[in-house]
Structure 1
């Protein structure tokens, strides 16, 4: 392994990303910035689609940056994204402006270490659709409110800062697309799947949500999730119909052509 920029023979080991909040973040980042990478997907608790033995019992995603160095494996989605940002400084995976970069890192850190109720109660499943009286705990409602506050503040702070700099606002959380947007991407699935409330979100926060759902690269990722869904080996049963048995909740599936309508 040479000093400086590593050989970009990246291999990403990840669970099927139509269910994987952590893996889908890294996959979207790689796709958006066209970072060379061989993405290999596996099933959770599925012997027919199990990851290599060295990852059994461990957490994915995991990135192997050098095909000749099997001992150098980066686990944890944030660590992977930080590594890719360092290896590709010209791509500006974080905002160029130091103030916006600090704010973006702070927002991602909050997502990475917090929101345990949303994370553990409302599991990610890109196509899962719950209607009716979807249970919402007090903790879940509080975290949903905190989440939309992060988005609204990010957009307000970004607009103000870019105006000070005289730079164009791309409409993403911190101006141009960045690691921050990838980290909140699967959270948008949760809000859609479980009808989580958007109470308190700003107009610019809603516009960011609409931009994410309509972005061409994101829509290409959605097509990839659809391809995964056609393969029965990708199905992870524990994330399907988590309220099964509750007569007040109906479970169905979103279709690929669903579109976001910005309303609270």
Structure 2
């Protein structure tokens, strides 16, 4: 009887080839906080992918995104015949596909907390998003300080303080860089743009995030983008 099982080495090679064909559809790096999250995860952990950038606020933006997902939003991960169109779902998919890379913390309790703080960011902080949008190139110090946004800032600081108290004052939220840090990186961008004052330990965490190679690369490419969207570049009085 013929053995139809693949040689383990060949199987691993084919699996690697499949994973290297990942495509990530994102929007402008300067403005798209949701795009930033999975891009950082894939870049920080050395997961090869093809970047497909769809510029926002263009006549063909909606039609171009619709080519990849009927949900009409980015980011979108295309993995062969599988399409994942939500940033947290993308990160979970990647964690399952690359278990050896420890995208989530290895400790069970830490992993549960990391998922919780990511889910809170994923579904909450609406006031902060509305009043203090992401624009890496801009500087709006003191703007957007609505009472609701201030409450969101206070809650984020509480999350960071709690996580850093567990992991150590000179670490990322759960020790090594993880999905959780990628999820809060756009908040770091917002705090820098809007000049949010932070306690020294939290400002040091912000500085560590900014200095991370994947974050630094995203910021450089965001600053270099030629596109400008006026409604995000000017803060109304």
TM-score, structure 2 length as denominator? Answer: 0.85
CA distance in 1, matches of 2:117, 2:98: 21
Residue 52 of structure 1 and its aligned partner are, at CA, apart by: 4.8
Q: Does 1:21 align with 2:33?
A: yes
Deviation at 1:213, TM superposition (A): 1.5
| 1:4-153 equivalence runs, <5 A | 7-8=18-19, 9-47=21-59, 51-54=64-67, 55=69, 58-66=72-80, 69=81, 72-131=82-141, 134-153=143-162
Higher helix share: 2
**2:235 counterpart (222, 239, 242):** 242
Runs of 4+ in structure 1 off by over 6 angstroms are none
Q: TM-score, normalised by structure 1?
A: 0.77
Contact 2:136 2:223 in 1 (8 A): no
CA-CA distance at 1:103 after TM superposition? 1.3
1:12 is displaced (CA, Å) by: 0.8
Corresponding residue SS for 1:73: strand
Is structure 2 residue 222 aligned with structure 1 residue 221?
Answer: no
SS at match of 1:128: coil
Most deviating of 110-119 and 48-57 = 48-57
SS in 2 for 1:51: helix
Is the CA contact (8 Å cut-off) linking 2:26 and 2:74 kept in structure 1? yes
Number of positions where the alignment pairs a residue of Structure 1 with one of Structure 2: 221
CA shift for structure 1 position 218: 2.1
Cα 1:53–1:141 shift into 2, 3 Å: closer
Shift of 1:170: 6.7
Q: Distance in 2 between matches of 1:57 and 1:242?
A: 29
- The alpha carbon displacement at 1:29 in A equals 1.0
1:224 Cα deviation from its structure 2 partner: 1.6
**Matched residues in 2 for 1:158 and 1:135: separation?**
31
- Listed as ranges, the gaps of 5+ residues in structure 2 are 1-10
Q: Report how far residue 207 of structure 1 moved.
A: 2.4
CA distance in 2, matches of 1:235, 1:48: 16
* C-alpha displacement of 1:240: 1.4
CA shift, 1:181, in A, is 0.4
Structure 1 residue 205: Cα displacement: 2.7
Q: SS in structure 1 opposite 2:139?
A: strand
